[in-house]
A and B are shown apart, each in its own frame.
Chain A
Amino acid sequence: GQNIDQPTEMTATEGAIVQINCTYQTSGFNGLFWYQQHAGEAPTFLSYNVLDGLEEKGRFSSFLSRSKGYSYLLLKELQMKDSASYLCAVRVFSGTYKYIFGTGTRLKVLA
């Protein structure tokens, strides 16, 4: 089957660095996405990895290892507004494209 695992909750302090891990077991891997979702709002796209390595975008970076079925989202210089759920999603292809989401990691940033 297709499965994605990520921690349910994490807590970090303002100004710190936090790493949110995502492991997946899927067939037909075709890319990994990270989304941010504030309570009551739409998920918003953060990053996309299809090749191994690190993608950096300002304070946010995302890493992928396809051989290990592993990704992480790294958030630096945490701000209070970073308190949100972070969704890991894998796109697979088996005749058509499908998106499989993890349950999300709820991050609380404390002052």
Chain B
Amino acid sequence: ETGVTQTPRHLVMGMTNKKSLKCEQHLGHNAMYWYKQSAKKPLELMFVYSLEERVENNSVPSRFSPECPNSSHLFLHLHTLQPEDSALYLCASSQDLTTVSLFGSGTRLTVV
């Protein structure tokens, strides 16, 4: 366990569903990240939050909506996803934007 906890571990959802992924850390880290990991593709940075403010948004489709209510929690809200959105979604956190990130175990998402 890295101290970064993601739930659920696995999620199957239909294209018309709305679901949320949750990430939690109590390490006192001030930066949190969402990454997408697809088979045979590089890890893609989706969103970065520092001190609860979004500092990076890498042209992610609006069907993915992040939320950072406090420095310990990060959510990824999903709606009207496509089958190609099926992937492993990884959350990470770091002390600040310059330090090493610790990753959670990920949520394996399947869109049917």
Q: How far is the CA of A34 from the CA of B74 in the complex (A)?
A: 25
Where the two chains meet, the residues of A that have a C-beta atom closer than 8 Å to any C-beta of B are 4, 8, 33, 35, 40-45, 48, 87, 89, 96-104
Residues of A within 8 A of B97 (CB): 96-97
Residues of B within 8 A of A89 (CB): 43
Residues of A within 8 A of B55 (CB): 96
Q: List 10 A-B contacts (CB under 8 A).
A: A4-B42, A35-B103, A42-B90, A42-B102, A42-B106, A43-B90, A96-B48, A97-B98, A101-B43, A104-B43
Q: Are B56 and A98 in contact (CB under 8 A)?
A: yes
Give the one of B42, B103, B106 with max A CB within 10 A: B42
Q: Are A103 and B2 in contact (CB under 8 A)?
A: no
Looking at chain A's contact residues, the main secondary structure is: strand
Residues of B within 8 A of A45 (CB): 100-102
Let me know if B4 is at the binding interface, CB within 8 A.
Answer: yes
Looking at chain B's contact residues, the main secondary structure is: loop
A55 to chain B, nearest CB (A): 13
CB-defined interface of B43-80 with A at 8 Å, one 1/0 digit per residue? 11100100000011000000000000000000000000
Q: How far is the CA of A89 from the CA of B33 in the complex (A)?
A: 15
Q: Are B42 and A100 in contact (CB under 8 A)?
A: yes
Residues of A within 8 A of B26 (CB): none
Residues of B within 8 A of A4 (CB): 42
Give the one of A42, A99, A104 with max B CB within 10 A: A42
B25 to chain A, nearest CB (A): 12
Known contacts A43-B90, A96-B55, A103 near B98 by CB under 8 Å? no
A33 — nearest CB in chain B belongs to which residue?
B100
Residues of A within 8 A of B41 (CB): 103
A33-B100, A99-B33, A99-B45 known; 15 new pairs, CB 8 Å cut-off, are: A40-B105, A42-B105, A43-B43, A43-B90, A44-B103, A45-B102, A96-B55, A96-B56, A96-B97, A99-B101, A100-B42, A100-B45, A101-B44, A103-B41, A103-B42
